[in-house]
Amino acid sequence: MAGEGRGMFAFAEQARPQPTVFFRRGRIIDPQSGFDQVADLLVEDGIIRRVGKDLKVPAKAEVIEVGEKVLCPGLIDLHVHISEPARNDRETIRSGCSSAVAGGITSIAVRSHTDLVIDNQAVVEYLIAKSQQLGLSRLLPVGALTRRLAGEELAEMGDLAKNGVVAASDDYRSVMDSSLMRRALEYAAIYNLPVLSFCQDSSLAGDGVVNEGYVSTIMGLPGVPNIAEEVMVVRDLILARMTAHPIHLGPLTTVGSVDLVRQAREMGVAVTAETSPHYFILTDIDCREFDTFMKVEPPLRSERDLAAVQEGLAEGTIGVITSSHQPLTVVDKDTEFQSAKAGICGLETLLPLSLTYLYHNGKMSLGDLLSRMTIIPAEILHLPGGRVREKCPADVIIFDPELEYIIDPQEFFSKGKNTPFGGRSVKGKVLLTMVGGRIVFRNGELVFP
Amino acid sequence: MSLKSKDLLGMQHLTFEEINSVITSAKSFMEIATRPIKKVPVLRGKTVANLFFEPSTRTRISFELAARRLSADVINIPALISSAASGETLTDLAKTIEAMTVDFIVVRHSMAGAPHQLARQIKSSVINAGDGSHEHPTQALVDLYTTKEKKGYIEGLRVAIIGDILHSRSAKSNIWGLKTMGADVVLIGPRTLIPPGLERLGVDISFSMEEGLEGVDVIILSRVEMTEENRALLPSLREYSRFYCLTEERLASAKKDVLVMHSGSMNRGVEISPQVADGAYSVIIEQVTNGVAVNMAVLYLLAGGKK
């Protein structure tokens, strides 16, 4: 195994041809160092060999003219779901990893869900082996915090860590037992395993399906109050402070959650947070016509909450943008609002939506925005990626920040077509994705070695 | 006269003029019920399907009677299971119905929004006969019609809606309809049964009968039951009736010529005392008769309003 630290399995280089690629004159952005200049980049043996102006082109290199486009680290998505092998009709490892690279995402942190519970060695090894065989995006399994996600007993986190999980999480289920959550944090700390916590008190959320308030009332649907999230955020912050083990919360969706995390960070609590594009683009009123594509968990919130999420992102309280990728089938969605499954298929829209609604809207600089999907998630998971720097893994993308197009879910590589953003015009398109020095996606098509 | 949409899905979509058209048409259809032959050929050759995903007797019979009096053919499709439970998508269901070339579909569903989702995918007219805790537009139209008949006008009246506002679809539809018609609305009930955000619709809220009924012209009661959900919201029906049952003493706070209505089946002794239910102010039985005429008016107007 190559290297130490998290992701050592996913970042172990495979026995594949490692071409020499020379990217000429691109706008290279490295969010960690703040580097943002027109320069050349040389990739050799799967790593970034050189970054600089007017570099010499090696004889054997493939030369790619980057032109006006941006060259930056490949994106790292901390919140992705796939369903293989339980529900291959929703998403397989192949369709998920294809979708990721089409979206400019070179590493996906795959979390447990009903279809896939990552609480034993066999599952972890399967995910890693299968994704490496494909050679598309890197797949970083996130182990369960509790066995079977039941919230009753600790998962074998040490064994999971040794087998290659990059973090521990029960994902969409909060561990309701506070004592168990405390022990989980203490135990995860032994293996320096970051804990990712989805914050929702299940008793306060009840059977709610939309934001509690005016919208739940006029739709006649049970609501999920903001406090269902905030109560859990508070508890997790107190536990993180007590155990002194880093915790990563989210997706955050409410004003109160953003305030709480901001205060905790000022107090020095080791907490980071994430949110997803739908929480800074859509609001609860978008559910009004009973469009099941608008059904997500936690639910879409109010205008006020949306403004707080945007502000939290801009100031850094929320350091990470994830897709919360949840691919679903027609049967899951084409049904009554209350019966429909919650979730959005998000890998291929993560970057264009973020660019359109945060960068082009003037809320964030390009470098800051990219840091939310590159270096910050890399640091949370202690990964070597997320950087455009010499000797780092050659996980890079080229995107055109000005290219406008209309989102068409039928063109997704993902099996999920469940997006409320279909038909929406966005600005910013991924043109090329390189993982470990190999071009895997280019001009709208997957590239196989 | 006609309605703008092909469907009647909720009171929140209806304009002042549309509500007035329904009231005016219903008045002319009322007369038919007094004829020896209670039938007009308005919808001859048309088919009305009653699609009931949730049991109902009153609403279904009322629609069936309305359709038959307009000479339409009626089919009843009761006890269907929801799309999620059947494994069939809502689109499959819509296409199936479409293939049967039905002109009107009257839908009752336990889940909010199901009629809306169906209506989007189908050319036939969809009438929402009650969806979850969302809307029950025809019940609100009956209540508005009855109010107009008895009081002569609606604008400026003070109307109290009492009971389980959280779960009552009729209450929600009544709020929209009454506000559109210019009435003043006060909601009365225990705080746990009054949903959030209603202030935005410009209604008053009171947790006390004595205070809330002050100067009220019309009272609309909704049914209060001890459902599974209500167990966490209400200590007991006994406690509810102790504070919110409409009794003759409490009625004294309202105006002298107050009108008492109920927008569902009564729970005597819980939300209404038998004396009030059978008393001089009560028009509860008339509401049922009016219901058939209102449903006829809705079918007629959705068909284009041509006799």
Main-chain dihedrals φ then ψ at residue B131, nearest 5 degrees: -125, 110
Question: Is B198's CB within 8 Å of A336's CB?
Answer: no
The alpha carbons of chain B give a radius of gyration, in whole angstroms, of 19
How many contacts does A have with B, using Cβ atoms within 8 A?
79
Q: What is d(CA B176, CA B12) in angstroms, rounded to the nearest whole number?
A: 5
Judge if B11-135+291-302 and B137-287 fold alike in CATH terms.
yes
Domain spans, chain B? 11-135+291-302, 137-287
Residue B230 forms contact with A (CB below 8 Å): no
CATH 3.40.50.1370 fits B11-135+291-302, yes or no: yes
Residue type for position B101: T
SS3 sequence of B23-92: HHHHHHHHHHHHCCCCCCHHHCCCEEEEEECCCCCHHHHHHHHHHHHCCCEEEEECCCCCHHHHCCCHHH
Domain spans, chain A? 21-71+393-446, 75-380
Question: What are the chain A neighbours of B198 within 8 Å (beta carbons)?
Answer: 214, 217
Cβ-nearest to B89 among A220, A330, A338: A330
Secondary-structure class of domain A21-71+393-446 per CATH = mainly beta
- Count CB neighbours of B36 within 10 A: 4
Cβ-nearest to A331 among B89, B131, B133: B89
Question: Is A217's CB within 8 Å of B131's CB?
Answer: no
* Cβ(B113)–Cβ(B12) below 8 Å: no
**Buried-exposed string A111-149: b where 16+ CB fall within 10 A, e elsewhere:** bbbeebbbbbeebbebbbebbbebbbbbbbbbbbbbbeb
Q: Among residues A46, A26, A24, A36, which one has the least CA distance to residue A391? A: A46
Residue B89 forms contact with A (CB below 8 Å): yes
Q: What is d(CA A80, CA A373) in angstroms, rounded to the nearest whole number?
A: 13
CATH superfamily of A75-380: Metal-dependent hydrolases (3.20.20.140)
Each of the 449 residues of chain A gets a pLDDT tens digit; together they read: 333 456 666 777 666 778 999 999 999 999 999 999 999 999 999 999 999 999 999 999 999 999 989 999 999 999 999 999 899 999 999 999 999 999 999 999 999 998 999 999 999 999 999 999 999 999 999 999 999 999 999 999 999 999 999 999 999 889 999 999 999 999 999 999 999 999 999 999 999 999 999 999 999 999 999 999 999 999 999 999 999 999 999 999 999 999 999 999 999 999 999 999 999 999 999 999 999 999 999 999 999 999 999 999 999 999 999 999 999 999 999 999 999 999 999 999 999 999 999 999 999 999 999 999 999 999 999 999 999 999 999 999 999 999 999 999 999 999 999 999 999 999 999 999 999 999 999 999 999 76
Report the CATH fold assignment for B137-287: Rossmann fold (3.40.50)
Q: Among residues B247, B258, B238, which one has the least CA distance to residue B186? A: B258
Question: What are the chain A neighbours of B114 within 8 Å (beta carbons)?
Answer: 336-337
- Residue B8's contacts (CB-CB under 8 Å, 6 or more residues apart) are B14, B125, B126, B127, B128, B137, B138, B298, B302
Task: Enter the ipTM.
Answer: 0.94
Cβ-nearest to A338 among B91, B112, B135: B112
